[in-house]
Chain A
């Protein structure tokens, strides 16, 4: 391996880590603001202009808080669980092209850490591993509510992962590749070539599954505040809890990127306008995560499993069959 490639990759990793850790913080700010406006409140206003420095205040608080490991917890697993959530969220980002390739100081930069040929499979796999964070954290916590949360996490994980995989199979059959860059090239001819027009059902299914994947509101039952306190996060404090949080928000951003790249044309032809377009699409999907949180109620775990197994999975199967017949 040549040195330049090695250094370039390291720099990309550091940039992605820093940008998305920061975005996770700003994401919490936007979440609080958007939720507040939708509920006729003001949200954070006192720290800094428009409450913008609230993020920094929260960060300082999380970093300086005492790190409590309660008695009776399984220490090692308890400590490693939040790291799994945060680390897998960022690992999944390795195969996502965040922007079209551009030239910087005469050097062509591809804003993707590794354009591996199994891109989307890798992303979904690593995001699936991310669920070990809540699962292990909940089981190691020596807390009944955390245990319920872990059990729910396992059940939800099995349910939605089927839908995610099956819904995405039909677009993969059309494109004939698993790389997100190839997906983008397939849709580079403008708005009419977007996969969402030929695979609207897969788009909706994947979008629904994304809510379960990130644990956002209609499927927020792993850490449902009003039922099981904070679920797996109940016993956590300080930056360990913060890692869960960063992982969750980074996941929201990455899954938004994946939806936009898979179904909505990504960055299109790779022009500056296309890059802005991709960011706007991602912003919309992120906003939609917040929007639904203000508007929709949570569903029960059994309802989620009913939805995944009895409704979404058959629809996904039918969608694959129809796609296969049309492609033949």
Chain B
């Protein structure tokens, strides 16, 4: 089905309209008398529907079009907007950490699983000293990534976070993009909510400095 058809399909949901795509399926009434039941039995017995079923499964067996994904060895590609374990990004220009220690993520976290501790360093810049997410409590709602003004904390694609303890913490250093990834220029930006959309450059307006 084409896109415009889908749109029309979703908007035109009035079943009673004559021009509607919806129609009632033609289902015959159940037989009530003995003769009707008998002919229905004969029809069902002789029409060979059982063999249609047999043929369908045999055809699939001969085709051998296996859909199994052998999970630990093979993995499904997941969407770029998938909300799995968090990542901390670095700046492309300086490889410095993007996190400015504003603490918004800690404030908005509805399951109280983020803990952030900051201090002012020698140059009076805020520095993150402690940052941890309790993945046992995190519900992966994505508010922290949404609220982050610097696109510093985002969600990643790592979903295999099974742990043998209930409180499975993830520390700042584990989430932070490693330096060699930055050196290779392979840091992957999160394309999900709050991220920069692909055509952002065209939509940027010059800041009016005249006034």
Q: List A residues at the B interface (Cβ < 8 Å).
A: 34, 37-42, 45, 291-292, 294-296, 311
Contact = CB atoms under 8 A, between A and B. Distances in A.
Contacts of A42: 66, 68, 70
A307 to B, nearest CB: 10
B162 to A, nearest CB: 20
Contacts of A292: 54
Contacts, number: 37
A292 B64 CA distance: 18
CB-CB nearest 9 A-B residue pairs: A38-B57, A295-B53, A42-B68, A294-B57, A37-B61, A40-B67, A295-B57, A295-B54, A38-B61
Interface in B69-93: 70
A37 B53 contact: no
Interface string B33-58: 00000000100000000100110111
A237 B58 CA distance: 34
A312 to B, nearest CB: 11
Nearest to A294: B57
Contacts of B50: 295-296
Contacts of B123: none
A291 B54 contact: yes
Nearest to A295: B53
Contact of B65 (A40, A291, A295, A311): A40
Given A34-B61, A295-B57, A45 B70 contact: yes
B60 interface: yes
Given A40-B67, A296-B53, 15 more contacts: A34-B61, A38-B57, A38-B58, A38-B60, A39-B57, A40-B60, A40-B65, A40-B66, A40-B68, A41-B67, A41-B68, A42-B66, A42-B68, A291-B58, A295-B53
A219 B70 CA distance: 33
A311 to B, nearest CB: 8
A37 B41 CA distance: 32
Contacts of B60: 37-40
Interface residues of B, number: 15
Interface in B142-180: none
Nearest to B41: A311
B67 A37 contact: no
Contacts of A38: 57-58, 60-61
A295 B56 contact: yes
A45 B53 CA distance: 27
A292 B57 CA distance: 9
Nearest to A37: B61
Q: Which of A37, A39, A42 counts the most B-chain CB atoms under 10 A from its CB? A: A37
A40 B62 CA distance: 10
A59 to B, nearest CB: 24
A37 B66 CA distance: 7
A174 to B, nearest CB: 26
Contacts of B57: 38-39, 291, 294-295
Q: Which of A38, A41, A311 counts the most B-chain CB atoms under 10 A from its CB? A: A38
A188 to B, nearest CB: 31
A134 to B, nearest CB: 26
Contacts of A296: 50, 53-54
Contacts of A295: 50, 53-54, 56-57
A14 B119 CA distance: 82
11 contacts: A37-B60, A38-B57, A39-B60, A40-B60, A40-B67, A41-B67, A291-B57, A295-B56, A296-B50, A296-B53, A296-B54
Contacts of B56: 295
Contacts of B61: 34, 37-38
